[in-house]
A and B are shown apart, each in its own frame.
Chain A
Amino acid sequence: EPEVTQTPSHQVTQMGQEVILRCVPISNHLYFYWYRQILGQKVEFLVSFYNNEISEKSEIFDDQFSVERPDGSNFTLKIRSTKLEDSAMYFCASTGRTNTEAFFGQGTRLTVV
């Protein structure tokens, strides 16, 4: 069964460092998303991406964040100059069309120390 794959599963980084979280969406999907879940809290929308550009972004997704689809399979989230409060689980998701069933990756647990 097709699935969304995220790497790494865990990442520990020092405050101020840049991190890149990677996702491989389901191959025939066209819409891609990133979410953040701080421990014990709800899953929060960060950004959606379609046709090589950002469709929508939340107020959380400030200049510290960027997304890219560098090739035909990967979808990345870059966090520049990480802060302690960026520690969270980050999920990638993809859908075939807008407003259809979404499939989520297993998440990357980011710890900023």
Chain B
Amino acid sequence: GIQVEQSPPDLILQEGANSTLRCNFSDSVNNLQWFHQNPWGQLINLFYIPSGTKQNGRLSATTVATERYSLLYISSSQTTDSGVYFCAGDDKIIFGKGTRLHILP
């Protein structure tokens, strides 16, 4: 089955810093998504981004489908950005292990 690798596994930053999270797929996917899991455990849709670039406020994402990776950018981090960020894709919506982001005040 498809493998999804996310890096880094953990990231600790000061408030205001920028960050880049990466997601690699072992095979092509055409339904790549990014999620944020909040402290209550809910999976919040951030981006549906099979290819190209999208932006939503301080967050943006880029997927290079031909090279099977996607990047999530968070600018001017806030403490509310803390949590786990997952990417997922494939017809079974396979998840990576996530990046745990902790923003320090």
Contacts and interface: CB of A to CB of B under 8 A. Distances in A.
Interface string B86-97: 101001111111
A89 B41 contact: yes
In which size bucket is the chain A interface? 20 to 34
A103 interface: yes
B92 A91 contact: no
A101 B30 CA distance: 10
Contact of B93 (A102, A107, A109): A102
Contacts of B93: 33, 35, 45, 93, 102
A96 to B, nearest CB: 11
B41 A107 contact: yes
Nearest to B4: A42
Given A43-B88, A89-B41, A106-B42, A101 B48 contact: yes
Classify the interface of chain B: helix, strand, loop or mixed. loop
B33 interface: yes
Contacts of B96: 42
B91 A98 contact: yes
In which size bucket is the chain B interface? 20 to 34
A48 interface: yes
B84 to A, nearest CB: 9
Contacts of A56: 91-92
Contacts of A51: none
A87 B96 CA distance: 21
Interface of A: 33, 35, 37, 41-45, 48, 56, 58, 89, 91, 93, 98-104, 106-107, 109
4 shortest A-B CB distances, which residue pairs? A101-B48, A43-B95, A99-B31, A104-B43
